[in-house]
Structure formats: C-alpha cells, structure tokens
C-alpha cells in the first residue's frame, strides 16, 4: 500500500514535470543550429531584438528609479495606507495583460482619460515605443516593488538609528547601510521584473501595436514570424528561453556568505 | 551639574509613556518590566521616536523642545546609542563599523578605528565581519563604534543581555570600568540585579510608562516602592541576610 502511494506520487509528479519539460525541449530539438542561424538573420529578428533590449532597459530604469522610493515607504511605514497600497500594487500580476493594455489605452490613448491633456502637451503615446515601455513598466512593476518592499522591511531599524547617531544623514544611511543590505532583494526583484518586461506581449499588442522597429518586441516578433517563417519564430523563442533560463539560474537560492 | 535632562511624553500602541529623567556624570540605570517603555525612552532621546511633548537637553544644549519647536535631527544630537542586539553593520568589518562615525580620509578613519579597537582589547578582530565575532567581541566593537565620534552621552539598551553566562561577568566588569573612565553621562537599561549593583549608579524604575521610583541603590533596597523593585533587588540578598 505504502509502496503504491509512492509509485502514484512518482507518476503524477513526474508526469507534470515531463509536461513542463517537453515543450522547452521541443523548442531546441526540432530545429538545428543552422536553422536558428538562418532565423537570426531573418529581417524581423534584428530590429525586435534591439527594440526589446532598449525598451526593457528603459522600463527597468524607470521602475528602479520610481519603485525604490515607493518600496521604501511600503517596507518601512506602519501606516494602514501602506498595507492597502501594498495590496493594490499587486494588481497587475492578476489582471490579464490584454486588460492591462486596454486600460492603458483608455488612460493614455488619444481618446483616453488623459488623452486631451497629453495632446495639449504635444505628446502622443499610444502605438509608440514609449507605449511599449509603459506597458512593460505596468506589468513588471509588482515584481520589483514586492521584492524591494520585502528587502526594506527586513532591515533592522536599529541599524538605521545607530547609523544616524553616528552622524550620518538620511541619504548617507540609505546609500551606505540600507541599499547595501537590501541589495540582494533589490537585484532579484529587478531581474524578475526585467524578465517579465522582456516577455510582455498582451498589453504591448493592445496599447503599442505591432510595428516593426517601433513597437515590435521579441514576443511580438515571435507571434508575427510564426505566420511566415517558423524557423525565425523558433530562433527568437530560443533566445527568450535562454535568457529566461539564465535569469532562473542567477536567482536560484544561494547559501549566504557573511550576510547577517 | 546635570549632564542630561529629559522629559518625554508619547503614545505608541498600548504604551502611554510620560517620564522625566535627570542624568549626571555618574550615569543612570533604568530598570523596569518588559514593555514598560524603557527602550522607547532611549529612542525618543536620540530622535528616532518623536515625543508628543517634552524637552531634551544635553549639558544645557536643547536638542528637543516641543514648546519651542526644536527638534534637532538624530545625527546632530551627539548621543551614542547601543541597542540590545548591538546592531553592528553586517556588511562591514569591525574596523569599518568603528570608522563609520569618524571623519577624515579613509585611511585616517581606519587607523583611528584600529587604535580604538586596540584600546578596547579587540584589535585582533578588526578585519572580521560581525557575524564571525563572539557576543563579547561584538559588544566591544559596538562600544568602540559608539565612542568613536566622541558622543556627549551614551545610551545603552541591555548591553549584557545578549551574552552567555561565562562571558557576562568579564564583559560587565570591562563595560563598567570603561564607562567610568569615559566620564561621559550614560543611561543604561538593565534587568539583572547583579548588573544593577555592578554599575553602582542612581536608579530610575519605569513601570507602564511612568517613573515609579528613583534613587540610590541602597534607598531602593531599603524601601522598594513596587513589587517589581522588591523582586529585582530584594532577591539579590542571600536567604537569611
């Protein structure tokens, strides 16, 4: 009986593992390196790769610059408002990306909530590269904010108080104590957020469209290439999977060195 | 002369704190049950908690006065704070911890830090991170760090609580001798009768946010005002004494 349970568990768990693995394996084994090389030379590949690198770097920069102060407040404040905001910030994780794209369009589109305001300022966001960045920031924000909030919340208040008593101004405490100690959490959050931004598809398609060289990022290029050249789609997909694997390996739990 | 006077009143959660303290160069021992507000007193003195009203003056220099609208930032108060867990910066070596509050070039600060660690008998651990130090070593490094910027007064929160029985006595003797040698006013929170005796300083008993008794050890022993004080000090006498 005991043995039967073990076998059943093995079959069920192993079955799921196989199901998860087979598609990834298929991406690699159904094409040859020669195919991937041809795919990489496909005219759709270069611009998409470049655009993805540029836009994800920008959205990550925006997210770190704006998200770090927010996460500091969320992590250090005991106000009830902070707990409420902490919950609301998670929303983009559970909202379908297509809904996020529609919401962005209704907010920043030409006929959106802020459309007249933006047009008055001569800014047209929808279906531009800026829209790609905004879509990425929107969907990736929770990943960075959540990790950074946890990292800041984990800081011992005594460390911050003692640093002040030793003559350090708040900014010095931030850069010499808080950020170095929270670094691991911040970097992990940034890596996850970047990966999410890189994979962004639905919101980008709705809000930024699918224009080569302007809004056609790697995931959109995979989708587009599939209609004409499976090899190109596959080559792009392989790039994305390799990057994803690299991120997972980078984020794997490590034994701490001399930290706390 | 009074080196440090403070009256602070604040509410934080269940704590309703309203205490007035006077500290001279002999220092002050704070005792009281857990949750009485002792740590909050120290935090409000350094400026990490803001009293609803009160006044804090160090050697006549007012650093907080709710009536006068004075609230100097923590870094300008010149008060050293040694929390119960010592709060050594885990990402810095012992020498870098001590150098944190020093001025000068990087090399100067590290040199001074090493000298200070040497004076406190822990020169050997200068290049180690706090995680690799014993409790007694951590305490000495933390004390060196607190003394480094020449503070006007020292605030110590249960400096002996984190130590094991073996090292406790020697560290206590060291700390008492060092504080006497410093001639700096200090407030130290203690919860052990032997520690209280060793410091031999005036005592203030804090219970539920109020000072319920203050005075010299002998006076408190002779006439403890509350059962807490009686238990803390009375039990120190051997049976039949």
Name the band, by pLDDT with cuts 50, 70 and 90, for residue B1: low
In a domain, A23, yes or no: no
- Contact A111/B at CB under 8 A: no
- Percent of all residues in chain A with a pLDDT value above 70, rounded to a whole number: 97
Question: Higher pLDDT residue, B171 or A72?
Answer: A72
Q: Which residue of A has its CA nearest to B99?
A: A166
Question: In CATH, what number is assigned to the domain containing residue A199?
Answer: 1.10.3720.10
Through-space distance between the first and last CA atoms of chain A, rounded to whole angstroms: 46
In a domain, A256, yes or no: no
Q: Which residue of B has its CA nearest to A157?
A: B87
- Structure-token match 């009256």, residue found: B7
Shortest Cα distance from B136 to chain A (angstroms)?
Answer: 17
Name the band, by pLDDT with cuts 50, 70 and 90, for residue A148: very high
Q: Is the pLDDT of residue B237 over 70?
A: no
Structural domain boundaries enclosing A134 = 33-251
The encoded tokens of residue B126 equal 């200068």
Length of chain B: 241
User: Which residues on B lie below 8 Å from A177 (Cβ)?
Assistant: 89
pLDDT in tens, B14-51: 899 999 999 988 999 999 999 899 999 999 999 999 99
Residue B50: name the closest of B84, B29, B77 by CA.
Answer: B77
Residues 6+ apart with CB under 8 A from A196: A136, A139, A140, A143
Question: Higher pLDDT residue, A255 or B79?
Answer: B79
User: Which residues on A lie below 8 Å from B116 (Cβ)?
Assistant: none
Shortest Cα distance from A14 to chain B (angstroms)?
Answer: 41
Q: Is the pLDDT of residue B166 over 60?
A: yes
Question: Does A260 sit within 8 Å of B85, measured CB to CB?
Answer: no
In a domain, A242, yes or no: yes
Question: Does B89 sit within 8 Å of A158, measured CB to CB?
Answer: no
Q: How many CB atoms lie within 10 A of CB A177?
A: 24
Residues 6+ apart with CB under 8 A from A41: none
State the average pLDDT for chain B.
91
In a domain, A28, yes or no: no
CA–CA distances in Å: residue A12 to residues A16, A19, A21, A26? 6, 11, 14, 21
Q: Tally A–B CB contacts below 8 A.
A: 68
In a domain, A125, yes or no: yes
Question: Higher pLDDT residue, A92 or A260?
Answer: A92
Q: By the 8 A CB rule, do A139 and A204 touch?
A: no
> Measured between alpha carbons, how far is A16 from A245 in angstroms, rounded to an integer?
19
pTM: 0.86
Please report the pLDDT score of residue A258 as a whole number.
45
The encoded tokens of residue B181 equal 């040698």
Question: Does B101 sit within 8 Å of A166, measured CB to CB?
Answer: yes
DSSP A98: H
The encoded tokens of residue A181 equal 């100690």
Please report the pLDDT score of residue A1 as a whole number.
66
pLDDT in tens, A152-188: 999 999 999 999 999 999 999 999 999 999 999 999 9
> Measured between alpha carbons, how far is A188 from A150 in angstroms, rounded to an integer?
11
Q: Is the pLDDT of residue B241 over 50?
A: no
Question: Does A177 sit within 8 Å of B75, measured CB to CB?
Answer: no
Shortest Cα distance from A38 to chain B (angstroms)?
Answer: 49
Distance between alpha carbon B53 and the CA centroid of its chain, in Å?
22
This model of the complex carries an ipTM of: 0.91
If one counts the domains in chain A, the total is 1
Q: Which residue of B has its CA nearest to A165?
A: B75
> Measured between alpha carbons, how far is B191 from A15 in angstroms, rounded to an integer?
60
pLDDT in tens, A8-34: 999 999 999 999 999 999 988 888 888
> Measured between alpha carbons, how far is B92 from A28 in angstroms, rounded to an integer?
46
> Measured between alpha carbons, how far is A91 from A100 in angstroms, rounded to an integer?
10
> Measured between alpha carbons, how far is A210 from B228 in angstroms, rounded to an integer?
75
SS (H, E, C) A117-138: HHHHCCCCCCCCHHHHHHHHHH
Interface of A with B in 151-170 (CB under 8 A): 156-159, 161-169
Question: Does A181 sit within 8 Å of B149, measured CB to CB?
Answer: no
A185-194, A202-211, B173-182 — which is least confidently predicted?
A: B173-182
Question: Does B75 sit within 8 Å of A161, measured CB to CB?
Answer: no
């Amino acid at each position: 009986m005991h043995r039967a349970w073990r076998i059943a568990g093995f079959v069920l768990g192993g079955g799921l593992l196989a199901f998860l693995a087979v598609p990834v394996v298929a991406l690699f084994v159904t094409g040859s390196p020669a195919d991937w090389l041809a795919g990489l030379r496909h005219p759709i590949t270069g611009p998409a790769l470049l655009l993805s690198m540029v836009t994800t770097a920008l959205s990550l920069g925006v997210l770190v610059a704006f998200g770090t102060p927010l996460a500091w407040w969320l992590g250090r404040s005991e106000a009830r408002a902070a707990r409420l905001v902490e919950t609301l910030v998670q929303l983009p994780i559970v909202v379908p990306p297509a809904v996020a794209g529609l919401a962005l369009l209704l907010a920043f589109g030409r006929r959106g909530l802020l459309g007249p305001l933006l047009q008055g300022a001569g800014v047209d966001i929808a279906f531009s590269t800026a829209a790609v960045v905004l879509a990425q920031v929107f969907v990736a924000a929770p990943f960075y904010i959540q990790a950074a909030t946890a990292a800041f919340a984990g800081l011992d208040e005594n460390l911050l108080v003692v640093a002040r008593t030793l003559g350090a101004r708040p900014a010095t405490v931030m850069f010499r104590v808080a950020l170095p100690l929270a670094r691991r959490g911040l970097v992990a959050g940034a890596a996850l957020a970047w990966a999410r931004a890189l994979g962004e598809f639905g919101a980008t398609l709705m809000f930024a469209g699918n224009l080569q060289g302007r809004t056609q990022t790697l995931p959109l290029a995979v989708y587009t290439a599939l209609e004409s050249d499976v090899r190109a789609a596959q080559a792009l997909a392989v790039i994305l999977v390799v990057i994803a694997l690299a991120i997972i390996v980078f984020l794997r739990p490590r034994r701490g060195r001399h930290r706390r | 002369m009074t080196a440090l006077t403070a009256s602070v009143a604040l509410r934080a959660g269940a704590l309703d704190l309203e205490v007035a303290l006077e500290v001279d160069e002999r220092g002050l021992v704070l005792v009281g049950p857990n949750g009485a507000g002792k740590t909050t007193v120290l935090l409000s003195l350094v400026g990490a908690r803001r009293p609803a009203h009160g006044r804090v003056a160090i050697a006549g220099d007012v650093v907080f006065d709710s009536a006068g609208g004075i609230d100097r930032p923590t870094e300008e108060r010149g008060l050293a704070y040694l929390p119960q867990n010592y709060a050594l910066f885990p990402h810095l070596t012992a020498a870098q911890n001590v150098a944190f509050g020093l001025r000068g070039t990087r090399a100067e600060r590290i040199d001074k830090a090493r000298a200070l660690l040497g004076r406190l008998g822990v020169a050997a651990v200068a290049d180690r991170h706090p995680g690799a130090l014993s409790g007694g070593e951590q305490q000495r490094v933390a004390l060196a760090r607190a003394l480094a910027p020449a503070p006007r007064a020292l605030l110590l929160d249960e400096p002996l609580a984190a130590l094991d029985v073996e090292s406790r006595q020697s560290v206590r003797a060291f700390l008492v001798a060092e504080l006497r040698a410093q001639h700096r006013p200090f407030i130290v929170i203690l919860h052990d009768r032997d520690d209280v005796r060793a410091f031999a300083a005036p005592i203030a008993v804090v219970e539920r946010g109020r000072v319920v008794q203050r005075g010299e050890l002998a006076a408190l022993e002779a006439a403890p005002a509350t059962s807490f004080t009686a238990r803390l000090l009375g039990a120190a006498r051997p049976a039949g004494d």
